Amino acid sequence: AQKVTQAQTEISVVEKEDVTLDCVYETRDTTYYLFWYKQPPSGELVFLIRRNSFDEQNEISGRYSWNFQKSTSSFNFTITASQVVDSAVYFCALSGTNTGNQFYFGTGTSLTVIP
């Protein structure tokens, strides 16, 4: 079974604080892919990052960084020096290799950055 858990439903931070969004996944596939998407208040879903299960290197893109740890089945997302424009709902998703391209989304974490 494939499952993604985002235990944090809502997070509020003050601008310029760092914030980490947690994502824990379950899968029996040995090869799988993890994704993060952002849904700002305007409603569209924006792709942020994809990792495959063989690449555990952490990734940094500007103020965004991702920590992939297979040992704890986690793929956490950190925003450094948060800004008001980071306010959005963030979704973590999992895709296996025998699931017909299906994505399994977490329930999302709503981040509010307070100016």
Partner 1 sequence: DTAVSQTPKYLVTQMGNDKSIKCEQNLGHDTMYWYKQDSKKFLKIMFSYNNKELIINETVPNRFSPKSPDKAHLNLHINSLELGDSAVYFCASSLWGPGNIQYFGAGTRLSVL
- Find the binder of partner 1 among 19, 23, 89, 111 (CB under 8 A): 89
User: According to the binding rule CB under 8 A, does residue 5 interact with partner 1?
Assistant: no
Of 111, 83, 113, the residue nearest 10 (C-alpha):
111
Choose one: 14-22, 36-44, 61-69, 71-79; the region binding partner 1 (CB under 8 A): 36-44
Q: Return the bridge partners of 44, or none.
A: none
Nearest approach in angstroms of CB 16 to partner 1 is 26
Cα separations in angstroms, 94 against 13, 35, 66, 72, 112: 27, 6, 15, 15, 24
Structure tokens at 74: 């986690």
Q: How many residues interact with partner 1 (rule CB under 8 A)?
A: 26
Nearest approach in angstroms of CB 81 to partner 1 is 26
